[in-house]
Amino acid sequence: MIFTSFLSLLAIVNVAIADPIRMPLIRKHPRRDGEINLDGIRNIVDEDRMAAQADFVRAKWGFQTLAAKKSKRATVGIPVVNQKQDASYLGQVSIGTPPQNFLVVLDTGSSDLWVASASCSSCDPQTPAFDTSKSSTIKQVTTSSGQAASVTIHYGSGSVAGLVATDTVSMGGFTNTVQGMLVATQLTTGLLDGEAAGILGLAFESLASTQAVPFWQALLNAGQLTNPEFGFWLTREIDNRFAPDNAFGGEFTLGGTNSSLYTGELEFLDVLTTTQPTFWLLEMTSVTVNGKSVTIPTGNSAISAIDTGTTLIGGPSAGVRAIYAAIPGSQALTGQMQGFYAFPCSTDVELTISYGGKSWPINSLDMNLGTVGSGLCLGGIFDLNLGSSVTAGGGNPSWVVGDTFLKNVYSVYRANPPSIGFAQLSAVAGGSG
Ligand SMILES: *[C@@H]1O[C@H](CO)[C@@H](O)[C@H](O)[C@H]1NC(C)=O
């Protein structure tokens, strides 16, 4: 992060406050000698403009807008795209005026929104890009010295850099007219694939490198959501080698849950927080492999980010080693596959994970990523820190629990109180276990 909060505040002031203050609320006719007395007669107020300006300030500062108050608060089911056999799960957002539509990675493991810019030189030519010159509502965010605010966001898999802007962003019928985002002009390779144009961060504001309020939280602050939560049903295509690159991926429910997608109770567990929530964190309390309990690290080494934006499950060396030690015939891989493990393809690995409540099974299909040599198959859990004894600490996750796990449950992310709910998938959603 190269942004200070001081800089950000000034940037916000530049964008949001200057305009309304410059706009005189009531303008009197100037009196000149010899002119007819027009005392008491005033300019006609441009009500549309006035109301829009007021809502602009309300939205920017996190108050409920009049537009949102008038519109019915709602729960909306947004279709998800399953990209390349469960590699990523995407949803459609519209950005700018007129709207440009993009598929972005739905990522509960980060908090920024960014899209590739049409002027991104290091982007893959195939990557769909946002043409800022075609949006009449985009506003550049500037620093206190009047320069364009630039930000670099670092992910486990690469980094992205560009300028910060605000523009109208819509998804599933919800709109934020002043959504902060990064317009990416530099991108490391491999961060995006196929038709994905960027990432929509669904974790908490305090993690955002752009210091923008994440889209979902802005909708919540503006009173647009029926409930302070969103839910995911993510489909499985890993066992379908004829799956198209973009298959049906399930549903992202914004503003509540979709009860037809799960059965039984949603079990909510409080998110681990220090002062403010950051990632969606839970403590991993137990793991079983083929019915037998495995000893996993505790304390900081049990902190797990629940992350729709990560394909697999990554964990601390000792925990990952213990899991594979419970699978007969498994072995650690070397070379470029260091950190991964393989096991005999004839073994069905039945794994369960618990975060202090129920144990949730992972389908053996999700644990098997395909063959990597004679009779050996690649496992869906890998070593995040490659055998080093360095632990994450500082409230950062030691485990990153991605889609390998999340395909097996209906998962709900609740802002207030910060908590995560899991339930068994209904038959409509393919079932669990
Ligand atoms: C809930 O899921 C069902 C089954 O996929 C779907 O038909 C329905 O439209 C969804 N409801 C909402 C509000 O999106």
pLDDT in tens, 64-73: 677 666 655 7
Q: What is the CATH number of the domain that holds 385?
A: 2.40.70.10
Domain boundary among 208, 231, 254: 231
Pocket of ligand 1, beta carbon within 6 A: 75, 77, 251, 258, 260-261, 428
Residue 393 lies in a domain: yes
Same-domain check for residues 268 and 227: no
pLDDT value of residue 346: 97
Q: Are residues 271 and 174 in the same domain?
A: no
Ligand 1 atom with the shortest distance to the CA of 259: 1
* Residue 261 alpha carbon, nearest atom of ligand 1: 2
Q: How far is CA 292 from CA 284, 287, 347, 352, 353, in A?
A: 16, 8, 15, 10, 12
**Atom 14 in ligand 1: residue holding the nearest Cα:** 77
Q: Indicate if the pLDDT at residue 323 is higher than 60.
A: yes
Tell me whether residue 195 is exposed, middle or buried, using C-beta atoms within 10 angstroms of its C-beta: 0 to 12, 13 to 18, 19 or more: middle
**To test the ligand 1 pocket, which listed residue (171, 235, 258, 412) has its Cβ within 8 A of the most ligand atoms?**
258
Does 180 score more than 50 pLDDT?
A: yes
- State the average pLDDT for the chain: 87
Is 172 in the same domain as 103? yes
CB of 224 closer than 8 Å to CB of 154 = no
Q: Where are the beta strands (DSSP E) in 127-193?
A: 139-140, 150-155, 158-171, 174-187
- The pLDDT-based confidence of 46 (bands split at 50, 70, 90) is confident
**What pLDDT, on a 0 to 100 scale, did the predictor assign at position 1?**
26
* Residue 360 alpha carbon to ligand 1 centre in Å: 24
When mean pLDDT is compared across 52-56, 159-163, 386-390, the lowest value belongs to 386-390
- Does 38 score more than 60 pLDDT? no
Range in 64-68, 74-78, 342-346, 359-363 the model is least confident about: 64-68
Do 116 and 224 fall within a single domain?
Answer: yes
| pLDDT value, residue 387 | 60
Instruction: With a cut of 50, say whether residue 37 has pLDDT above it.
Output: no
pTM: 0.84
d(CA 63, CA 19) in angstroms, rounded, equals 18
User: What would you measure as the largest C-alpha separation in the chain, in angstroms?
Assistant: 102
* Distance separating alpha carbons of residues 68 and 176, to the nearest angstrom: 10
Kindly state whether residues 417 and 296 are assigned to the same domain.
yes
> Measuring from atom 7 of ligand 1, which residue has the nearest CA?
260
Residue 196 and residue 301 in one domain? no
> Are residues 205 and 292 both part of a single domain?
no
Domain boundary among 215, 231, 247: 231
Q: Dihedrals φ, ψ of 325, to 5°?
A: -65, -25
DSSP secondary-structure letter at 149? P
Nearest CA to ligand 1 atom 1: 258
What's the mean pLDDT in 46-50?
74
Closest residue to atom 12 of ligand 1, CA basis:
77
Per-residue pLDDT for 319 more than 70? Answer: yes
Are 194 and 337 contained in the same domain?
no
Q: How far is CA 319 from CA 116, 312, 384, in A?
A: 37, 15, 10
pLDDT higher than 60, residue 22: no
- Assess contact for 186 and 91: CB atoms under 8 A: no
State whether 186 and 290 are in the same domain.
no
pLDDT of residue 21: 28
Position 30 scores a pLDDT of 33
Quick one: 331 and 385 in the same domain?
yes
Rounded distance from Cα 432 to ligand 1 centre (Å):
18
**Per-residue pLDDT, 6:** 30
Quote the percentage of the chain above a pLDDT of 70. Answer: 85
Q: What's the pLDDT score for residue 16?
A: 29
Mean pLDDT, range 299-303, rounded to an integer: 94
Find the length of the chain. 433
56: confidence class by pLDDT, cuts 50, 70, 90: confident
- Ligand 1 atom with the smallest distance to the CA of 258 is 1
How far is CA 430 from its chain centroid? 24
**Quick count: other Cβ atoms within 10 Å of Cβ 276?**
10
Residue nearest to atom 9 of ligand 1 (CA): 77
Report in angstroms the alpha-carbon separations of 252 from 8, 265, 413. Answer: 31, 19, 11
Residue 25 pLDDT: 30
Pocket test for ligand 1, best of 73, 260, 263, 410 (most atoms within 8 A of CB): 260
Q: From ligand 1's centre to the CA of 239, what distance in Å? A: 25
Residue 391: what pLDDT?
52
Using most ligand atoms within 8 A of CB, pick from 233, 251, 252, 410 the residue to mutate for ligand 1: 251
| Full residue range of the structural domain in which residue 123 is found | 78-231
258: CA distance to ligand 1 center in Å?
6
The total number of structural domains in the chain stands at 2
Mean pLDDT, residues 94-109 taken together: 98
- Catalytic positions: 107, 307
User: Residue 157: what pLDDT?
Assistant: 79
Q: Which of 231, 250, 275 marks a domain boundary?
A: 231
Same domain? For 319 and 366 the reply is yes
Give CA–CA dist 93/125, Å, rounded: 20
Sign of CA dihedral 279, 285, 291, 295: positive
Percent of the chain with pLDDT over 90: 75
Residue with the bigger pLDDT between 16 and 278: it is 278
| Residue-level pLDDT at 73 | 73
- What is the mean pLDDT of the segment spanning 375-383? 97
**How far, in Å, from the CA of 75 to the mean position of ligand 1?**
10
For residue 63, pLDDT over 80 is answered with no
* Whether 179 and 289 share a structural domain: no
Q: Mean pLDDT throughout 277-290?
A: 97
- Strands 174-187 and 158-171 turn out to be antiparallel
∠ CA 290-293-296, nearest 5°, is: 120
Q: What pLDDT score was predicted for residue 26?
A: 29
CA of 76 relative to ligand 1 center, distance in Å? 9
pLDDT tier for residue 393 given thresholds of 50, 70 and 90: low
What average pLDDT does this structure show over 176-190?
95
Q: Is the pLDDT of residue 2 over 60?
A: no
Quick one: average pLDDT of 97-106?
98
Neighbours of 243 (CB within 10 A): 18
